[in-house]
Amino acid sequence: MPWLYLVVINSTSFLLLGLDKLGARIKSERVPELVFFLIALGGGFLGIVFGMLAFHHKVSKVSFQFKMLVAAVLGVVILSYLILRT
């Protein structure tokens, strides 16, 4: 069951990064960075990384990359604790 959760959250984070890139291009509504941080914290880090590479979005923002790294580390710790606790 944890694998299904990870597939869903990473697919969601990938698609949200694509939507944010589209919003940036057409000068429309954007996805707040806090949303990406929370999704990465919840295990969606790989979807964000693959989205950054696929859409060439936020690849030059070092502050964003640092926030995602922190969220990824914290997310792995939290998810590991939850999985091992059961």
pLDDT level of residue 1 (50, 70, 90 thresholds): low
Q: Residue 7: which of 36, 55, 49, 44 has the closest Cα?
A: 44
**Token digits for 50?**
């693959």
Q: Residue 79: its pLDDT value, please?
A: 81
Question: What are the pLDDT digits (tens) for 8-40?
Answer: 999 999 999 999 999 999 999 999 999 999 999
User: How many domains, in total, are found in the chain?
Assistant: 1
Q: Which domain holds residue 33?
A: 2-85
**Token digits for 49?**
């990384």
Question: What are the pLDDT digits (tens) for 38-50?
Answer: 999 988 999 999 9
Q: What is the pTM of this model?
A: 0.87
